[in-house]
Structure 1
Amino acid sequence: MPDLKIWSSREINRLKRDMNRLFESLCIDYGLPGTFCQEEMEVEEDDREIRVRLAVPGLCPDDMEVKVTQYGLEISGRREVAGPEGRREERFTRHLGLPCRVLPGEVKAVHKEGTLRVVLPKCTDNQCRSIDIVKE
Structure 2
Amino acid sequence: MNAKAYKLYGYRWVVLGVFMLVNLTIQTLWIAYAPISGPAAQFYGVSDLQIGFLAMSFMIAFIPLSLPVAWVIDTFGFRPAVSIGVILMGIFGILRGLAGSSFSLVLWSTIGIAVAQPFLLNAWTKVPANWFAI
How does the TM-score come out when normalised to structure 1?
A: 0.23
Structure showing greater relative contact order (alpha-carbon pairs closer than 8 Å, 6 or more residues apart): 2
